[in-house]
Structure formats: C-alpha cells, structure tokens
C-alpha cells in the first residue's frame, strides 16, 4: 500500500484526454471480443471508480483498460480468456500507434506475453481491492425505454428518441459523470439532448424531468459536460508516467 498517498489528479487537459482514450479503448476492445454492450459500460464505470482513487500518472490507462474489461466480462457473466483479451488489445495498440494493419500476433510462449498476462491479472487484483469489491453498477441505459415511453409526445418518434439518447449515454461513459450523478440524471440529460437534436418539444407542465425526480440543475450540468466532450478531437495516447519508466512496458509503447 505504498503509494496510497499519491493523491488525485487535477482534471488537467492531459488527464481528461487519457480518460477518454482509455474508455475508447475499452469500447473498441469489447466489440472485437464480441462482448455484450453492458460489459463495456461496466468496465468504463470500474475504470472511473479506480481513477477516482488512483492517479493517471502512476497507472497507465492502457493497462487499466485491459484489466477492467477483463474483470467486467466476468462480472457480467461473459468471461473472456486472458489470452483473447491480450490479443485484442495488442492488435489495437499496434493499429493505434502506427496505423498498421499488418498485425503481429502475440507469441504465446514469449516473455512479453507472460509479462502482459501478469500485468492484466495484477491490475484486476488491484482494482478489486481498490474498489473494496464494490463492482455492481447501475447503468443509465436501463431507464431510457421507460422514460421515453412516458414522455415522448409522438409515438412514431419514440424509437428514434430512445436510440439517440442511447448513443449519448454510451458516449457519456467516457467521462466520470457516473461517479457524480445518478444514472437517472444522466439518462434525463441524454434524453434532453436527443430531443433537442430531433427538435422535439417535451412536456413542460409539469417539467418532465421532475417526473423522474431529477433536478434541472443536474440535467444542465450533465448536458454541459457532454457538450464539452463532443467538442473535443479524438483522444490520443500519451504516457503520463514522468518519473519512472514502466517496468512492464505495454506493447507498442515507446
């Protein structure tokens, strides 16, 4: 427990970027691993919970992304082998770093494979203790269909509205909103943004968010942060470890 006093990062530009980058990675990898979407969402939540207590400078997003996805797949009853997880991430790293499609598969007997494997299992154990084994999550997705059915003025637009809100919620997982707002609030903000994009007025008498016990201020704050997210360019990987070089350098790094 040596580095418990490492402190929290400021949400500096670099940290925000690495947060988004890590979540991008999780989502891409979960698609390649053919995992249900809930696994990616759970992994991203675990990712944010972990970094609420630990520092980006000390824990490489690439390693943590691998570890939390590996763990989340088990939590959501769709376990994947370490080997498959590593292979997918390995390919993603190569592709991201030099854009190459000529991928070099991992040699299962290599020193590097063993090192990466230890790394993933190690991150998993660290996440578990760091979160006190609190792995259960509640995702905003769950509320969409009910909410939309209740408030959408035009039944023919219900599906479109729900789909757009669903996309916003998926994107919201790139931020640490899940730590600071109830899933209901995030869901309301997503519906509000989706409705605006569709130019669809929602009931105001009484204000629709109040039906779901969500405060207007929360909807606005979540929407604001989502707008910031959409204004950003694609996040790139950066090694934030300044002092000590990574002992088990991830694939394709440096």
Partner 1 sequence: MAGKRSRWEDSDESDADARQSVGTPIARRARDVASNSNKQADGAARAPPEHAGALPAELGAHVRPPPPRKAHLAASFTGKPLPVLAGCRSVDCYERLRKIDEGTYGIVWKARERATGEVVALKQIKVLRGQEGFPITSLREINILLALDHENIINVREVVTGGGADQIFMVMDCMETDLKAFMAKLKDPPAPSEVKSLMQQLLSATAYMHDRWVVHRDLKTSNLLFSMSGALTVCDFGMARHYSDPIKKMSTQVVTLWYRAPEILLGSQLYTQAVDMWSVGCIFAEIISLKPLLPGQGDIDQIERTFKLLGTPNDTIWPGYSQLPNVQKGRWRTYPYNRLRDTFCKPSFAGGPAPLTDRGLELLNAMLTYDPERRISARDALAHAYFREEPPPKPMKLGPMLAAAAERGAGAHRAEPDSPPIARANGASPETRRS
- The two tokens of residue 6 are 């490492």
Nearer to partner 1, 62 or 80 (CB): 80
Max alpha carbon distance in the chain (Å)? 66
Minimum CB–partner distance for residue 95 and partner 1 (Å): 25
Minimum CB–partner distance for residue 99 and partner 1 (Å): 31
Nearer to partner 1, 7 or 207 (CB): 7
Minimum CB–partner distance for residue 11 and partner 1 (Å): 10
What does 66-88 look like in DSSP terms, one character per residue?
A: HHHHHHHHHHTT----HHHHHHH
Minimum CB–partner distance for residue 109 and partner 1 (Å): 14
Q: Could you give the angle at the alpha carbon of 214 between the alpha carbons of 51 and 189, nearest 5°?
A: 65
Chain centroid to Cα 118, Å, comes to 23
Residues that bind partner 1 (CB under 8 A): 1-2, 4-5, 7-8, 49, 52-53, 70-71, 74-75, 77, 79, 81-82, 120-121, 124-125, 128-138, 142, 179-182, 213
Q: How far apart are CA 172 and CA 144, in angstroms?
A: 14
Q: How many Cβ atoms from other residues are within 10 Å of residue 247's Cβ?
A: 7
Nearer to partner 1, 62 or 139 (CB): 139
Nearer to partner 1, 121 or 157 (CB): 121
């Amino acid at each position: 427990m040596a580095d418990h006093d490492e402190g929290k990062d400021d949400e500096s530009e670099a940290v925000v970027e690495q947060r988004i980058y890590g979540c991008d990675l999780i989502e891409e990898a979960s698609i390649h691993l053919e995992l249900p979407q809930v696994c990616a969402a759970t992994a991203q939540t675990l990712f944010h919970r972990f970094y609420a207590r630990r520092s980006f400078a000390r824990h490489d997003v690439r390693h943590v992304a691998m570890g939390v996805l590996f763990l989340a797949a088990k939590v959501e009853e769709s376990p994947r082998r370490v080997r498959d997880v590593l292979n997918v991430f390995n390919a993603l790293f190569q592709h991201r770093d030099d854009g190459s499609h000529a991928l070099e598969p991992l040699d299962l007997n290599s020193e590097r494979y063993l090192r990466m494997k230890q790394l993933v299992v190690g991150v998993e154990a660290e996440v578990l203790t760091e979160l006190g084994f609190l792995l259960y999550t509640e995702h905003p997705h769950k509320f969409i269909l009910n909410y939309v059915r209740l408030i959408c003025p035009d039944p023919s637009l219900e599906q479109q509205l729900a789909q757009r809100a669903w996309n916003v919620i998926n994107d919201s997982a790139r931020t640490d909103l899940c730590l600071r707002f109830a899933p209901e609030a995030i869901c309301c903000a997503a519906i509000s943004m989706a409705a605006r994009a569709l130019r669809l007025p929602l009931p105001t008498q009484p204000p629709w968010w109040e039906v779901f016990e969500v405060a207007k201020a929360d909807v606005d704050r979540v929407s604001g942060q989502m707008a910031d997210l959409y204004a950003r360019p694609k996040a790139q990987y950066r090694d934030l470890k300044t002092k000590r070089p990574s002992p088990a350098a991830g694939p394709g790094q440096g």
